[in-house]
C-alpha cells in the first residue's frame, strides 16, 4: 500500500485520466468524498503539485482553475518504458533485461528447442 501524498497523487491522476474531460478541484473533491473524508485544501495542494510536476495543465474558468492531464496514461507509460529501456540509458539506473529482439528464425529455433522438453519441466 502506498501512503500519504504519493497515494493521493496516484488516486487523483487516475480519476483525471478516467474523466476524459477537464475537472475543477471541486469536481475531484466531490468524486473523492464518495470514498473518504478529505479536505478541499488537501486536494487543491495535491493538484497544484501535479500541475507543477507537469502532469496536469490548467486554465482559469471563473474564479477557479479547471485541470486536465497533459497526456494520457498510456502515453506516460509508453514514455516511462521507453526512457528506462533506451539503449543509451544508464544501465545501472534500472536493471532491464530480456531486451534482445530475436529474428523470426531464432525464435522458431528456440520454440522448437522448448518443445523437446516435457511441460512439467525438470530441475537442473
Partner 1 sequence: MIVPLFLALYSVVAAVLLPRLLARASWTSRAPRLAIGMWQAAGFSAVAAALLAAISLAVPTDLIGHGLARFFEACTELPDLSLTGVRAGLAGAALIVARLAYSVADVVLRTRRERRRHAEMLALLGRPDGDLGAVVVEHAERVAYCLPGRRAQTVITTGALASLTPDQVAAVLAHEHAHLRGRHHLVLAGAEILTRAFPRVPLFERARAELARLVELLADDMAARRHHRIHIAAALVGLATGRVPAFALAAGGETALTRVRRMLHPHEPLERRERLSALLAVAGLLAGPAALVAVPGLTSFLAHHCHGLFS
Give residues in contact with partner 1 (CB under 8 A): 1-2, 6, 9-10, 13, 55, 73-74, 76-78, 80-85, 87, 89-103, 106-107, 110-111, 113-114, 117-118, 120-124
Residue 30 or 83 having the CB closest to partner 1: 83
**Least distance (Å) between residue 121 CB and partner 1:** 3
Q: Residue 7 in 3-state DSSP? A: helix
Residue 21 or 101 having the CB closest to partner 1: 101
Give the whole-angstrom CA distance, residue 55 versus residue 72.
10
Residue 54 or 60 having the CB closest to partner 1: 54
Give the whole-angstrom CA distance, residue 2 versus residue 78.
23
**Least distance (Å) between residue 30 CB and partner 1:** 22
**Least distance (Å) between residue 63 CB and partner 1:** 29
Give the whole-angstrom CA distance, residue 6 versus residue 45.
12
**Least distance (Å) between residue 58 CB and partner 1:** 17
The x, y and z cell numbers of residue 13, run together, are 491522476
Residue 25 or 69 having the CB closest to partner 1: 69
Give the whole-angstrom CA distance, residue 15 versus residue 27.
10
Cα-based distances in Å from 33 to 12, 19, 39:
12, 16, 9
Amino acid at each position: 500500500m502506498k501512503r500519504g501524498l504519493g497515494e493521493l497523487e496516484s488516486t487523483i491522476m487516475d480519476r483525471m485520466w478516467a474523466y476524459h474531460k477537464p475537472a475543477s478541484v471541486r469536481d475531484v473533491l466531490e468524486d473523492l468524498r464518495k470514498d473518504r473524508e478529505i479536505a478541499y485544501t488537501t486536494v487543491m495542494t495535491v493538484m497544484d503539485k501535479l500541475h507543477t510536476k507537469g502532469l496536469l495543465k490548467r486554465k482559469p474558468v471563473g474564479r477557479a482553475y479547471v485541470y486536465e492531464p497533459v497526456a494520457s496514461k498510456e502515453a506516460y507509460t509508453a514514455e516511462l518504458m521507453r526512457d528506462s529501456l533506451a539503449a543509451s540509458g544508464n544501465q545501472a539506473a534500472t536493471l532491464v533485461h530480456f531486451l534482445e529482439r530475436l529474428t523470426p528464425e531464432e525464435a522458431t529455433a528456440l520454440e522448437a528447442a522448448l518443445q523437446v522438453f516435457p511441460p512439467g519441466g525438470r530441475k537442473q
